Amino acid sequence: MKLGFLTACLPGESLDDVAGWAGDQGYAALEVAAWPDRPGRDWEASHLDVESFGPADAERVRALLDRHGLELSAVAYYENNLHQDLAVREATHDHLRRCIDAAALLGVGLVGTFVGRDVGRTVAENLRLAEQVLPPLVEYAAARDVRLVVENCPMEGWHPDGYPANLAYSPELWGWLAELGLWLNYDPSHLVWLGIDPVAALEAHADRVLHVQAKDVEVDASARDRYGVFGRALDREAWVSGWWRYRIPGLGQVDWRRVVDTLHQAGYDGVVSVEHEDPVWSGSPERVRRGLALAHRTLSPHVDV
């Protein structure tokens, strides 16, 4: 296994600067963010311009990573592939195809995404919708020797009441993902706050894991007693539950020794990619880097063995 991080946490930095820092810090891989460069969405990182990505761009990126002793673990574009607005959905699919094209040129076999959800439909209706619209994307990727890995994040902020809005949040649905030809980008943090044992879930589905994201979660059980698992009902803010928050690995409730040991036992030899969404270690690129450095110190004894 190798330790890397998702570059989305440094949206204002160039890929050159991110790669240089990552190599100096001892990281071995990058999961490179490839959201479209859209005005007014400065929090979305566009470290690969996949809309105009060609062989010369791929050669430059490969040389950059080689120069800093890094590998590319995946191209990252996590958006709602079942969005209720058909125009938005098609634009998302089009950009995902460009990410797949870029991954093929770069020689990396993974693109990270979400399933998503049409929040105006039931889960059952969304399953049927996904069975119609996702297989062509899976086939497009397979024709280019690329596989789609889906993160098991609930994306509750996409739903007005904080309910799951990404149909990969529950291990109950992971077999269904496999039937569609989708693979797992396993992140234990989401399972913890949902009340699911992340090690048991991993043991049962390790054969579907092609990529791992490392994020921790801090749970306030007394606040949960007040709000319930779905979080605040009154004066609700998107992405703020009132009883849990994401943290740097080692600063929450995930047992990283057991998670990584389970990956070792399953024969996983891919990348463990830190996904930095810790509000304590955010606010400036300097604080984000300090958080990434903390994550490296926590995980490297387990991963780099």
Instruction: State yes or no: pLDDT of 286 exceeds 60.
Output: yes
pLDDT tens-digit readout, 131-162: 999 999 999 999 999 999 999 999 999 999 99
For the residues 8-30, what does the mean pLDDT come to?
97
Domain range for residue 16? 2-303
34-38, 102-106, 189-193: the lowest-pLDDT one? 34-38
Residue whose entry in the numeric block shows the structure tokens 């100096």: 24
The predicted structure's pLDDT at residue 39: 84
**CATH number for the domain that contains residue 256:** 3.20.20.150
Residue in the structure block whose two tokens are 């963010």: 33
Share of residues in the chain with pLDDT > 90 (%): 95
For residue 238, pLDDT beyond 90: no
Residue 61: the pLDDT is 98
Choose between 11 and 41: higher pLDDT.
11
pLDDT in tens, 112-133: 999 999 999 999 999 999 999 9
**What's this model's pTM, rounded to 2 decimal places?**
0.96
Number of structural domains in the chain: 1
Using alpha carbons only, give the angle 257, 9, 245 rounded to the nearest 5 degrees: 60
pLDDT at 304 over 80: no
Q: pLDDT tens digit string along 52-110?
A: 999 999 999 999 999 999 999 999 999 999 999 999 999 999 999 999 999 999 999 99
Task: Return the structure tokens found at 225.
Answer: 């007693």
